[in-house]
A and B are shown apart, each in its own frame.
Chain A
Amino acid sequence: MTSVAHARPQAHDGAHHAPMSFWQKYIFSTDHKIIGIQFLFVSLFFLLVGGLLAIQIRWQVGFPGTPMPLAGLLPESMAVGGVILPEYYIQLVTMHGTFMVFFAIMPLLVGVYANFLIPLKLGTHDMAFPRINMWSFWLALLAGMIMLAGFFVPDGAARAGWTMYAPLSARPDLSGATLAQQLWCVSIVVLGLSSVMGSLNYITTVINHRAPGMTWFRMPLSVWALFITAILGVLALPVLQGAAIMLLFDQTIGTHFFDPVAGGQALLWQHLFWFFGHPEVYILILPAMGMVSDIVANGSRKPIFGYHSMVFAIIGIAFLGWIVWGHHMFMSGMNPTLGSTFMVSTLLIAVPSAIKVFNWMGTMWRGNLRFHVPMLNAIGFVSMFTIGGLSGIFMAATPVDIPIHDTYFIVAHIHYVLFGGSLFALFAAIPYWYPKMFGRLMSEPLGKIHFWLTFITYNLVFFPMHVIGMGGQMRRLYDPTIYDFLKPQQPLNEFISIAAFALFAVQFLFAFNFIWSLWKGKKAPQNPWEDNGLEWTLSNPAPHGNWEKVPNVYRGPYEFSSPESPNSDFLPQHVKLPTDRDPVPAPPPAGH
C-alpha cells in the first residue's frame, strides 16, 4: 500500500512533465481535482434531473387532472392528453428521491468535495489510490446511467418509492414494473461499489497523507466531516448493496427474502434499508456541516468556536446514526418497545446537532462578518438546518409521530435538512472553491440575487408543507382531492406548487452564473477569500500533483484575527512565525 502511495509524486507529477492528451487529462484522469470536477458536472446534471421530476410532482399535486404544459413531449404511457397518469406519478416520486439522494446530493458533497478538498487541505499530491478513485467516478456515472435508463424501458421507471419497500418492490405483479425495478437494484449495487472505493480512498488518505505538522486536531472541520462520512459510507453502503442484491434475487430468481407469501419477512427490507438509510442521512449532512464550518469561520474572521466540541459532535452524530434506524419504522408493526429505545436515541441526536448550531453562532458572535456569497449561503444553511433539526423532534416523539408519520410533515422535514441544509451548503461551497477549480470567481451580484430569491421561494415551498402534513395529507398521493378532509387544503397545495416553479426557475440564475463564469468570470487572485487553508498556497486552478514540495503546517486552520498577526486578520496554516518550530517530518517509508 505505502509503496503505491509514495510512488505517486514521481509517476504522477504531470504538471511538470510531459503534457497529457485531452483524454488522459480530463476523461480518464487520476487527478483528484479533475475527478472532483467530473463528479461536479455529472451530479449537477442529476440535480437538474431531480428538479425536473420535482416540478412534475408539484404540477400533479397542485393541479391534479389538469393538462401539464409541455406534457405533450411525454409518451402515452406517462401522460394522456397532458394529464399525468397515476403510474407515472409514482415513478416521479420514486425517481425524484432516488436521483436527489443517491446521484445529486451524495456525490455533490462526497464525490466532489471529498475528492477535491481532502488532498488540497491536508497538503498531499493526490489521493492514496488515484486509479481506484478514477474507477469510483466511472462506476458512479455508470450507476446513474443505469438508473436513468429506467425511464426508457417498456414499463417505465421504478415505482415503489425511493425507499423501495418490499413486497411492493419485490413483486412485478403488484408494482406494475419489471425491468426498471431490477435496474434500480443493479444501479444501487454499482453505486455502492463506487462509494466504497471512494470512501476507502478518503479514509486512507486522511490517515496516511497529511502534510508535516498537519496533526489530527489541526485538520479543518470539512476534512474531519468528510473523513467521518467516509467511515459511514464504507460501513453503510455494503448493507444497502446486500439488501439490493437480495431484492434483485426476489425479483428474478424466485427467492422470497421479503415476500411473506413464501416465508419471507416484509419488515426485513425496512430494517436493512434503514440500517443503511439513517447513516446515509448523515452522509448527506455531515460534509455540509464541515464545509459550512470552514466558511462561517472565514466569513466571521474568527476562529471556529469550540473546535474540539465540533469534532466530537461530528463523531457523536455519526455514532448515534447507527442506533436510530428504527425511528423510520414506528408505525411499521415493529415491537413498540423497540420504538421506545429508538425514540430515546433519536432525541439524543438533538444534542450534538444543537452543539453545532450554537458553535456556529458562537463563531459569528463578536466577529467581523463579511457577507460574501458563500457566507450568505452558509448562514442560510445554519438557519434552515435549525428548522429541519427542530421539526425532527416532533417525529422522534413517538406519540406525536402517529398523526404526522408518512405525511407532508416528514416531506417538509427532509427538505429542510436536504435542501435547506445540504443544498445551501453546496451553494456556499461551489462558489467558495470555484476559483480553485477553474481559476475564476463566480459573479457576486448574481450569487447574491440567487441566494435571496432561493431563500425566499424555498421557504414558501417547504414551510407550508408542515401545515399540509399536520392536516394529514399523506405522502405520494397522486390526487389529494380524492379525500374530503384534504380538499380544504388544496389552495395551499396550489400555492406551494407555484412557489416550487419559481424556486426551480431561480436555479437557472445559478446555472447561468456557474457556466458563464467558466469563461467570463473575474480572474481569481491566489487567495480570494483571505483564508488560512493550504489549498490557497497554490495557484488557481491548482496544478496536477498540487505541490512540488508540500508545505509545513504550523497551526490550525481557523487562526483569524489572531494577535500574532497584527497586520492582517488571517494567519495561514503554512506561515512560519519566528516562534514556530518546524514539524518533525515523518520517517521515509521502508524501501523508498
Chain B
Amino acid sequence: MSWWLPPAASTFAGPIDTLFIVILILTGIALVVVEVGLVVFLVRYRARPGRKAFYTHGSTRAEIIWTAIPAVTMVALGLVSNHYWVMMKSKKSVPANAIRYGVHAKQFEWQMSYAGADGTLGTDDDFMVRNQLHIPVNQPVSLTLTAEDVIHSFFVPEFRVKQDAVPGMNIVAWFQATKAGEYEIGCAELCGMGHYKMRARVFVHTPEEYTAWLAEQAAAAQGGE
C-alpha cells in the first residue's frame, strides 16, 4: 500500500497534493510544538516535595501571539485554498472546449451517456453505457451529474474528483485526465444497501483509441435502433 494519496492522474492532483503537503507541514509544526511542549512540561514541572507552582494568571502578550499567528495563518490558507477551489469547482471554471457527458446515478449503478454521431449531448442519437466512462486523455471533460433516487457521490481518487449527484439537481463537474489507463469510480455517499458495490470504471484513452471507440459505439447504437 502507498501510505499516501493515490497516484495522481489529473490536472487537479498537482495543486491539491501540494496544498495537502503545505497543510501537513503547517499542522505538523503545530503538532510538534504542542506535543513536544507537553512532554517537556510534564517532565520538568512534575510535582516534587518542596516545589511550589509559579503563581500567574496569564500574559496578555502570550494571548496576542497565539491568537494572531493562527489567525493570520488561517486567513492566508483560506485565500490560497479559495484560489484553487474557484479554479476547480466554480460554475464558470468549466473550460469551453470540455467534452460533455451525462452521468446518471441510481441504486446501484452509474449510467454514462455520450453524444452520438452529431457530437451533441441531449439529442436523439445519444447512447448510454452502463458503469463505463470512456474519455480521452489530456482533454477537459465535463460531467453533468444527475440522480434517479437518492444522493450518490461520484469519486475517482486518482483524479482528485468528487461530486455528489443529487436527485432534482443537474450538477456539473469537470476535470482533465493526464494519464491513459483504467481507473475505478466509487460512490462516496451512503446510498442504501448496495452502496458498497456501486462501482464503475473510467477508461482514459489516447485520442486515436478514443475516436475509434466512439465511432464503434455510435455505430452499434445506431444499428441497434
The 6 A-B pairs with the shortest beta carbon distances in the complex, nearest first, are A260-B168, A472-B157, A366-B54, A306-B58, A478-B196, A390-B27
Residue of B nearest to A376 (CB): B42
B-contact bits for A382-397, CB 8 A (1 contact / 0 none): 1100110011011001
Residue of A nearest to B168 (CB): A260
Residue of A nearest to B155 (CB): A474
Q: In the complex, A471 Cα to B184 Cα: how many Å?
A: 13
In the complex, B181 has a CB within 8 A of chain A: no
Q: Which of B6, B74, B190, B194 contacts A165 (CB 8 A)?
A: B190
In the complex, A456 has a CB within 8 A of chain B: no
**Pairs across A and B, CB under 8 Å, 17 listed:** A171-B149, A305-B57, A305-B58, A309-B67, A347-B75, A351-B67, A365-B45, A367-B54, A369-B45, A390-B27, A397-B78, A398-B89, A400-B20, A402-B88, A403-B157, A470-B5, A561-B53
Q: Which of A394, A405, A492 contacts B20 (CB 8 A)?
A: A394
Q: In the complex, A479 Cα to B197 Cα: how many Å?
A: 8
In the complex, A253 has a CB within 8 A of chain B: no
Min C-beta distance of A401 to chain B, whole Å = 9
Q: Which of B45, B46, B171, B194 contacts A333 (CB 8 A)?
A: B171
CB distance B66 to A369 under 8 Å? Answer: no
Q: Which of B38, B88, B184 contacts A361 (CB 8 A)?
A: B38
CB distance A267 to B166 under 8 Å? Answer: yes
CB distance B162 to A331 under 8 Å? Answer: yes
Known A-B contacts A366-B54, A482-B197; the reply to A399 vs B16 at CB < 8 A is: yes
Helix, strand, loop or mixed for chain A's interface? Answer: helix
CB distance A366 to B53 under 8 Å? Answer: yes
Q: Which of B1-42 contact A (CB under 8 A)?
A: 1-6, 12, 15-16, 19-20, 23-24, 26-27, 30-31, 34-35, 37-38, 41-42
CB distance B37 to A361 under 8 Å? Answer: yes
Q: Which of A303, A351, A474 contacts B70 (CB 8 A)?
A: A351
Min C-beta distance of A128 to chain B, whole Å = 31
CB-based A-B contact count at 8 angstroms: 300
CB distance A386 to B20 under 8 Å? Answer: no
Q: Which of B41, B150, B165, B188 contacts A474 (CB 8 A)?
A: B188
In the complex, A357 has a CB within 8 A of chain B: yes
Q: In the complex, A337 Cα to B91 Cα: how many Å?
A: 9
Cβ of A175: which chain B residues have Cβ within 8 Å of it?
192
CB distance B1 to A489 under 8 Å? Answer: yes
In the complex, B96 has a CB within 8 A of chain A: no
Cβ of A426: which chain B residues have Cβ within 8 Å of it?
none
A-contact bits for B185-217, CB 8 A (1 contact / 0 none): 011111111111101000000000000000000
Q: Which of A160, A307, A483 contacts B58 (CB 8 A)?
A: A307
CB distance B195 to A563 under 8 Å? Answer: no
Min C-beta distance of A159 to chain B, whole Å = 7
CB distance A355 to B67 under 8 Å? Answer: yes
CB distance A402 to B81 under 8 Å? Answer: no
Q: Which of B5, B6, B77, B171 contacts A393 (CB 8 A)?
A: B77
In the complex, A368 has a CB within 8 A of chain B: yes
Q: Which of B45-81 contact A (CB under 8 A)?
A: 45-48, 51-59, 62-63, 66-67, 70-71, 74-75, 77-78, 81
| Interface size of A as a range | 35 or more
CB distance B157 to A485 under 8 Å? Answer: yes
Residue of B nearest to A64 (CB): B196
Q: In the complex, A259 Cα to B164 Cα: how many Å?
A: 16
Known A-B contacts A331-B153, A403-B162; the reply to A336 vs B90 at CB < 8 A is: yes
Cβ of A307: which chain B residues have Cβ within 8 Å of it?
57-58
In the complex, A484 has a CB within 8 A of chain B: yes
Helix, strand, loop or mixed for chain B's interface? Answer: mixed
Cβ of B2: which chain A residues have Cβ within 8 Å of it?
471, 488
Cβ of A471: which chain B residues have Cβ within 8 Å of it?
1-6, 157
The stretch that binds B, out of A73-81, A100-108, A338-346, A441-449, is A338-346
In the complex, A505 has a CB within 8 A of chain B: no
Min C-beta distance of B176 to chain A, whole Å = 14
Q: Which of B150, B155, B165, B188 contacts A168 (CB 8 A)?
A: B150
In the complex, A379 has a CB within 8 A of chain B: yes
CB distance B191 to A168 under 8 Å? Answer: yes
A-contact bits for B150-161, CB 8 A (1 contact / 0 none): 110101011011
Q: Which of B15, B31, B54 contacts A561 (CB 8 A)?
A: B54
Min C-beta distance of A379 to chain B, whole Å = 7
Min C-beta distance of B119 to chain A, whole Å = 27
Min C-beta distance of B113 to chain A, whole Å = 19
B-contact bits for A491-513, CB 8 A (1 contact / 0 none): 11000000000000000000000
Q: In the complex, A393 Cα to B165 Cα: how many Å?
A: 25
Known A-B contacts A306-B63, A391-B27, A491-B1; the reply to A569 vs B52 at CB < 8 A is: yes
Residue of B nearest to A560 (CB): B53
Q: Which of A352-378 contact B (CB under 8 A)?
A: 354-355, 357-359, 361-362, 364-371
Q: Which of B51, B58, B89, B157 contacts A309 (CB 8 A)?
A: B58
CB distance B89 to A336 under 8 Å? Answer: yes
Apart from the given pairs A90-B192, A361-B41, A467-B3, 17 other A-B contacts in the complex at a CB distance below 8 Å: A175-B192, A302-B55, A336-B86, A339-B89, A350-B74, A355-B67, A379-B42, A386-B35, A402-B16, A402-B161, A407-B188, A470-B3, A470-B4, A471-B157, A472-B186, A475-B188, A483-B186
CB distance B5 to A403 under 8 Å? Answer: yes
CB distance B88 to A399 under 8 Å? Answer: yes
Cβ of A305: which chain B residues have Cβ within 8 Å of it?
56-59, 62
Q: Which of B37, B55, B81, B151 contacts A343 (CB 8 A)?
A: B81
Q: In the complex, A187 Cα to B96 Cα: how many Å?
A: 50
CB distance A167 to B196 under 8 Å? Answer: no
In the complex, A284 has a CB within 8 A of chain B: no
CB distance A266 to B151 under 8 Å? Answer: yes
Q: In the complex, A397 Cα to B77 Cα: how many Å?
A: 7
Q: In the complex, A562 Cα to B38 Cα: how many Å?
A: 24
CB distance B192 to A174 under 8 Å? Answer: yes
In the complex, A86 has a CB within 8 A of chain B: yes
Cβ of B163: which chain A residues have Cβ within 8 Å of it?
331, 333
Known A-B contacts A306-B58, A560-B53; the reply to A371 vs B31 at CB < 8 A is: no
